[in-house]
Amino acid sequence: MALSIVSEDLTAQAITQVTGLELTDSWSRGDLRTHPRMRHLGPHAFTRWTLCPEGDLPGEFEDKLTRLLQLTEPAAARIRALADTCDVSILVGYQGYTGQMWGLPIESRDVARIAALGAALDVDLYASGPALP
């Protein structure tokens, strides 16, 4: 679960200054792309600023969403201002076993908090494990 801000114009440092939040990962437009097995990937074409407070630790969807929104709520007006020129999203990577993936409960209060950020909700589903008969 992460807040992602993508910009073609701003640097990651500029986004950090606007939001007042400490990022957990970023690259800026023009930074060289890196890959462990490839060398010449060229520069990034856009900036990606990410706040992922719990990293890849497993947990309940609603708990992770609430925690992220608690952290971003004080900066909501500043983040929403960026939404006019940046792509602001709550990113969810949802991993589970086939047949054992539960719903994504979102409280009305959290829907309002997402809207206050001017953010979209992007959920990527990754099912693995045995298929149901």
Q: Within 10 Å of residue 21's Cβ, how many Cβ atoms? A: 19
Statement: residue 117 has pLDDT above 90: yes
Q: Which two tokens stand for residue 126?
A: 């990754």
H helix intervals, the chain: 12-19, 61-72, 76-82, 108-117
Over residues 69-79, the pLDDT tens digits come to: 999 999 999 99
What CA–CA distance (Å, rounded) separates 126 from 109? 27
Confidence at residue 123, expressed as pLDDT on a 0 to 100 scale? 80
Over residues 7-65, the pLDDT tens digits come to: 999 999 999 999 999 999 998 998 888 777 766 778 888 999 999 998 888 888 888 89
Confidence at residue 121, expressed as pLDDT on a 0 to 100 scale? 86
Confidence at residue 37, expressed as pLDDT on a 0 to 100 scale? 75
Are 50 and 26 within 8 A, CB to CB? yes
